[in-house]
Amino acid sequence: MALAGCLAALSTVPSAAGAVSGEDDTLGGGVAGRVLAHGLAKEKLKLKAKGRTDVIVSTVTIEPGGSTGWHYHVGQLLAVVTSGTLTRTLQDCSVEVSPAGSAFIEHAGAGHRHVGRNLGTEPVVLYLTYLLPQGSPLAVDVEAPPCADLPSE
């Protein structure tokens, strides 16, 4: 709820809402802000958290040819791709490709295992916001699903 409140508050500040260039933007009254990442989600985003929740913001870089290995998240995660193209293979072995400038949610639970790969020639840079039950790890490593033709990493 706190995250939703903060996001709602930011959406009412014209300077913050319009600042997508990534440059420093003075909001007024001794307050300054900087957009770290901007992405467009192609579908409706719905974030949920129950109970005490660790909200963690991080960046992840996947070098060309790199892979996250098969894993899942105990809580939801909001991702913004700021450079490169991320290719994710999901639990059902469907593939989602997310180029720079896109945003998506990774759902929680072992039924949502996936692997992220950089099949391109430039680094993939992700800005991630995790909503995790307090004390949970960022990710849990798992085996590839039976339908995957990729070796478990």
pLDDT of residue 27: 62
pTM, two decimal places: 0.76
Q: Please give the order of strands across the beta sheet that includes 102-106.
A: 40-41, 102-106, 76-83, 124-133, 53-62
The tokens describing 137, both together, are 């790890």
What would the pLDDT profile of 79-110 be if each residue is shown by its tens digit? 999 999 999 999 999 999 999 999 999 999 99
What is the distance between the terminal CA atoms of the chain, rounded to a whole angstrom?
35
Q: What is the reported pLDDT for 103?
A: 96
- pLDDT 10s digits, 100-140: 999 999 999 999 999 999 999 999 999 999 999 999 999 99
Write the pLDDT tens digit of every residue in 29-72.
Answer: 888 889 999 999 988 888 888 899 999 999 999 999 999 999 99
36, 94, 118, 152: CA torsion to nearest 10: 120
